[in-house]
Structure formats: structure tokens, C-alpha cells
A and B are shown apart, each in its own frame.
Chain A
């Protein structure tokens, strides 16, 4: 039990020992051990990112099938579970079309950069006990900062495509991302106010000592989830790629591998949002009987399934309603929530 709980920590320790032995053998400076460990953590995060994206793409299609009373993908592999791998291979082998009038370097750069913000965010995510690659005192602020950057590759894509639909989509992405950052930040701030720390592991410790913060901050939890949906451009806020008005929005001029990168990055962004919700509101990796990282994956799985459920239940909202709802409902609501939380914390502490 204890062994399974610490299996990844032990693997990291083993890697470090091997690197230290190699560095000692070759008389190299000790800094190289740290640099090599950064590479190992980075590799682990890339693997987590890609595996999650591959799994959730097929899980979304399965769940959408159940919701709409149809089988969903059921041909490739056992019960269709290998469908995404087939899709990925298909997309890699497709022709990579770049429009003639496109800004070619930026067209490529946008697809390559799409993965960077979620990977940076996952570096600070506590996957389990002692399983935080970058345990910052300001972990919450750091994750908020790097997720802000997620709209930039999409903006680049919209500009570089030289297509009016892509441009409209990109402008919508930015509008939405900047607006919904405000209620999201306020929701996170309410949690931080209760827990009294910006450190993600500190927030989890607080929840182990008291109760899950979803019970103390239910409004903040709901607002956080809504804002996360809007930031990840998921239905009912998927206006940037609303196919009924903008063809495919930002991704109109993307095909083959480049489109696949954006598609996978969307799921990685959702995984980051779900992981942060788990850590802030649902007690993170803590739980009985099972190892910590299994609990983390289970809780994020529940939140991700909630995102998918919402997508296949609600219709798309009109562009101006999206922003109106943010500024006229969510922001005042969260300001009141913050004020009430502040007063209660001030009285009790």
C-alpha cells in the first residue's frame, strides 16, 4: 500500500540517484543532476498531458454516445477504446494544408505553442503526496498566471490563418478569456482567504484538517466551474469555434497534425482546470484506502465528466449574453461572496 502510494516518488528518487552516480563517475558539476531531474519531470508531465488528452477524447465521445442513446465509437480495440489512437494516426498522415495568404511561421508557431501553457501549469499541480514537480509558495498565483497565456496561441492562430472566420473566433476567444478570468480569480481568492495560503499543498492540508472547501465555498465552486468552461472554450461557451456561424472558428484553416495539436491542447487545458478544482475544492489527492494519485485522477475524472455532461446537455449561448452573464452576474456575485467570506474569516480568526 505504502509502496504503491509512493511509487512515483520512488521512481524520481531512483532517477536522481542514478544521475548523481553518473555525475560522480564523470566528475561533472552537481548542477547537472538538477538539470537532468528537470528533464525527467518535464518528460513525466508531457506523458501525463498526452495520455490524459488521448483518454478524455475517447471518453467524451463515449459519454456523448450514452447521453444521446447511441453506441458511440465501438469499432477500434476493445469496445472502441483505441479510437483516439486511430484518429491521431489518421491526422498525422493527412496532408498538412497551409493557406496561401497565411502568415506561415506564426501559423506553425501557434500550433506548437498550444501545449505550453497547460504543461507549465501541470508543473505546479500536486498529483499526490510529494508529487509536485514545482512546489511554489505562490502555486495558485503561478497556475493562474500561466493559464492566462492559454488564449495567446489561439489568438496567433486566428491572426495567422488570414481568414475572417478565424479572426472573429480569435477575437471571441480573447474577449471570453479576459472576461472570465475575473470571476475565476475572485473565486480562487475566496478559497485562498479561507485556507490562508497560496500554496496548493497548504490548501490541501487545510482541507484534511477541516472539511473540503466545496462545503465552505459552494458558490465559488460553481462560479469556478462556469469560468473554467468559458476559459477552455467549451460548450455552452464554445463560440470561438461555433460551427453554425463561424465554420470552425479559429481552427478553420488548420488541418492534419496542427489541428490535432490544438484539439489535444483543449483537453489538456480542461485537465488543468479540473485538477485545480480538485485541489482547491475537493481535497486534492487525499482520500481513504486508495493511493493519493489514484484519488487525484478519480476526482479530476468526475469533474471532467461533469464538463462533458454540460457540453452535451446545454445549447450554445449567444456571444453578447456570454459576456453579459460574466460581468453582470458572476463578477458582482463573486465580489459579494468575497466580502462575506472576508467578514466571516475576520470575525472567526
Chain B
């Protein structure tokens, strides 16, 4: 009962923040709304007793990724960040609608897939003990080492790509 209430409160908050991210005009306000959405997702993780995932959500997304994004934005377009001018997709509404539909369909598919897998939904998790974090480490390093390493290589490639693209042309 309490868990269901918490879930819907946090989910509602998350949707509100996400909508604010889309519709606010000022760049920094958008950033704050985005941050709020990320933090409320962390809250959902905590309320589902997935403490590790919640903490990682806060450290990686709210603490680092969001801050890096705003840092880049502020360095590029300091303060005069009116998104209605800087948004490159503003006049390509057909592409935007198609992209939004595609993402929406993908998300809908994922949500429907939880019915196939029989994963517990919020409110049904009462009797389930959360996975200890040692299991997560064991799974990553003993059972799926290839996927784990592939992820590391991908991140390294992204890092190298960032260095290469940001290097000034020395012609």
C-alpha cells in the first residue's frame, strides 16, 4: 500500500519534471528539471529496495552526466540559452514526430515485455528480498565478463573519439 503510493508519487513527479524539461524555454531551468527527473527515478529505485542501482543513478547520472551536460551548455552558450533559438530540430517537425513515435513504441514494447517475463511490478514486490550487491558483482565479473569488457571497450572508444573530435585541426 505504502509502496504503491510512494511509487505513484515518485512516478508522477518524474513525469512532471520530464514534461518541464521539454517545455521550459530557459536552458538552465531545463537542466534543473532534467536533474529532478533523474533524481526521482533514483527515488523509484530506492523505494523498490534496489539501493545499489539508486546510488549509481545518483552518482553517475545526477552527479556527473547531468553536470557535464550543463557545463558544456554553459561553456558553449553562456546564459543566453533560449532553447527556441538553439534547437536545431525546431523546423523539422515531421522528423521529430517520427523519432518521438519510434522511441515511444520502443518504450511501450519494453513495458509490455515485463508481462511476458513476469517481473514483479511496483506493489507486488512485498515478499521479495532484494538482490545483494555481491550478487551483482558476481554476475558482472563471473557470469557476463565479455559483456562487461565490451562495455569498457565501448567507453574507451567514446573517450578516444571525444579527444580526437575536440582536438583542433593542425593544418
- Assess the B52–A148 pair: CB atoms within 8 A: no
For A27-54 the 0/1 string (1 means CB < 8 A from B) is 0000100000000000000000000000
Give the number of residue pairs across the A-B interface with Cβ within 8 Å.
Answer: 66
Contact between chains at A171 and B71 (CB < 8 Å) = yes
- B132 near A: Cβ within 8 Å? yes
Q: Contacts of B63 on A, CB cut-off 8 Å?
A: 145, 148-149, 181
Pair A171/B74 contact, Cβ less than 8 Å: yes
Interface centre among A144, A151, A159, A167 (most CB of B within 10 A): A159
Chain B residues positioned under 8 Å from A171 (CB to CB): 71, 74-75
B83 contacts chain A at the CB level, 8 A cutoff = no
Query: Does residue A155 face the partner (Cβ distance < 8 Å to B)?
Result: yes
**Which residues does chain A contribute within 8 Å of B79, judged by CB atoms?**
159, 162, 167
Q: Which of A133-141, A220-228, A244-252, A275-283 contacts B (4 or more CB under 8 A)?
A: A133-141
Name the B residues within 8 Å of A138 (CB-CB): 51-52, 55, 133
Decide if the interface of chain B is mainly helix, strand, loop or mixed: helix
Are B74's CB and A141's CB within 8 A?
no
Indicate whether A174 reaches chain B with its CB closer than 8 angstroms: yes
Q: Which of A106, A148, A178 is within 8 Å of B58, CB to CB?
A: A148
Contacts of A31 in B (CB 8 A): 2
Chain A's closest residue to B27 (CB) is A159
Q: How many residues of B contact A (CB 8 A)?
A: 26
The answer to whether B59 touches A159 (Cβ under 8 A) is: no
Is A152 among interface residues, defined by CB-CB distance under 8 A? yes
Contacts of A175 in B (CB 8 A): 71
- Which DSSP category, helix, strand, loop or mixed, fits chain A's interface? helix
Whether the Cβ atoms of B51 and A155 lie closer than 8 Å is: no
Asked whether A174 and B52 contact (CB < 8 A) given A106-B28, A167-B79, A198-B133, the answer is no
A 145-204 contacts with B by CB, 8 A: 145-146, 148-149, 151-152, 155-156, 159-160, 162, 167, 171, 174-175, 178, 181, 198
Given contacts A106-B32, A137-B133, A155-B67, 15 further A-B contacts (CB under 8 A): A31-B2, A106-B29, A137-B51, A137-B132, A138-B51, A138-B52, A138-B55, A141-B52, A141-B59, A148-B62, A149-B62, A156-B32, A160-B28, A167-B74, A171-B71
